[in-house]
Structure 1
Amino acid sequence: MQISNILKQEAVRVIGAASSKKRLFQEVAEVAHSAYGLDASPTVEALLDRESLGPTGVGHGVALPHARLSGIDRVVGVFVSLEKPLDFGAVDRQPVDVVFALFAPVDAGVEHLKALALVSRTLREQSFCTKLRANPDPSTLHTILTESQSVQAA
């Protein structure tokens, strides 16, 4: 599995600021709707439900919200770069400005976990996140994200 298999170019956005985690999830859901046709309201609810189990802010300004949804047939992702970091309740208490949301079918099983591990591994690299933070263009961000595996594999 590669990020290019789960992330469309139209699912990458730069957002000035989000006033709350819920508002950020609404933005993510709107992107998921326009890129993949996901119904925004159940998408927000699924993200909030998952977040109620524990924050998905993994540290160093990165959050990996994820949810299982009915009505989709494969794992898909949405990447959002926030110009103004948001208090996300992350494990290190640092505000979040890099968000990669994943959505999986209800019965995805191991595919959901593989996608989550791939994105987590990719965004764990501080130099990689620095490169993402330095590029405010969605097209460039998509290229950086989708070319990351081929560089790492070389």
Structure 2
Amino acid sequence: MNLSDILTPNAVRVLSNVSSKKRLLHDVGEIANACYDLQGTPLIEALMEREALGPTGVGHGVALPHARLDDIDTVKGVFLRLERPVDFGAVDRQPVDLVFALFAPRDSGVSNLKALALVSRTLRDEAVCEKLRANSDPSTLYAVLTAQNLSKVA
């Protein structure tokens, strides 16, 4: 599995006016709706429910919100780079500026875990995060994310 299997170029965005975690999750839902034709309201509710279990801010300015949905047949992703970091309740208490949201079929099992592990590995790489933070062109961000995984198979 490569990031290009779960992320489309139009699902990579740079956002400048995100004011809160709740607003960010709404933006993620709207983007996923536009890119993958997923139902916006159930998707946002699923993200909020998952966050209620514990924040998905994993540290170092990175968050990996994720949800399982009924109306999806493969794992899909949305990547956002925030121009102004937001408090996400991350484990290291640092604000988040890199967000990779994943959506998986409710019964996806292993494919969801593989996708989450792949995204997590990619965004733990300091060099990748540095490149992502240094660029604001969505096509460049997509290239940085997908180039890292061309030779890696999860």
CA distance in 2, matches of 1:121, 1:59: 13
SS in 2 for 1:116: helix
CA distance in 2, matches of 1:11, 1:152: 21
SS in 2 for 1:113: helix
- Please state how far the C-alpha of 1:152 moved relative to its aligned partner: 6.1
Equivalent residue runs for 1:53-64 within 5 Å: 53-64=53-64
Q: Percent identity?
A: 63
Does residue 133 of the first structure (1) align with residue 133 of the second (2)? Answer: yes
CA distance in 2, matches of 1:138, 1:128: 15
Residue-by-residue CA offset, 1:109-142 (whole Å, 9 max, x unaligned): 0100000000000000111101000010001111
RMSD (Å) for aligned C-alpha atoms: 1.1
Structure 2's unaligned 5+ residue stretches are none
SS in 1 for 2:58: strand
CA distance in 1, matches of 2:35, 2:133: 22
- Please state how far the C-alpha of 1:18 moved relative to its aligned partner: 1.3
Does residue 96 of the first structure (1) align with residue 96 of the second (2)? Answer: yes
Partners of 2:65 and 2:100 within 8 A in 1: yes
Q: TM-score, normalization: structure 2?
A: 0.97
Q: Where does structure 1 differ by over 4 angstroms across 4 or more consecutive aligned residues?
A: none
Residue-by-residue CA offset, 1:85-108 (whole Å, 9 max, x unaligned): 001100000000000000000000
Q: Which residue of 1 aligns with 2:120?
A: 120
Does residue 15 of the first structure (1) align with residue 15 of the second (2)? Answer: yes
- Amino acid in structure 1 at the alignment position of 2:81: S
Residue-by-residue CA offset, 1:3-29 (whole Å, 9 max, x unaligned): 000000010000003111110011111
SS in 2 for 1:117: helix
Structure 1's unaligned 5+ residue stretches are none
Partners of 1:17 and 1:85 within 8 A in 2: no
Q: Which residue of 2 aligns with 1:32?
A: 32
Q: Which residue of 1 aligns with 2:150?
A: 150
Partners of 1:60 and 1:92 within 8 A in 2: yes
Q: TM-score, normalization: structure 1?
A: 0.97
- Please state how far the C-alpha of 1:150 moved relative to its aligned partner: 2.5
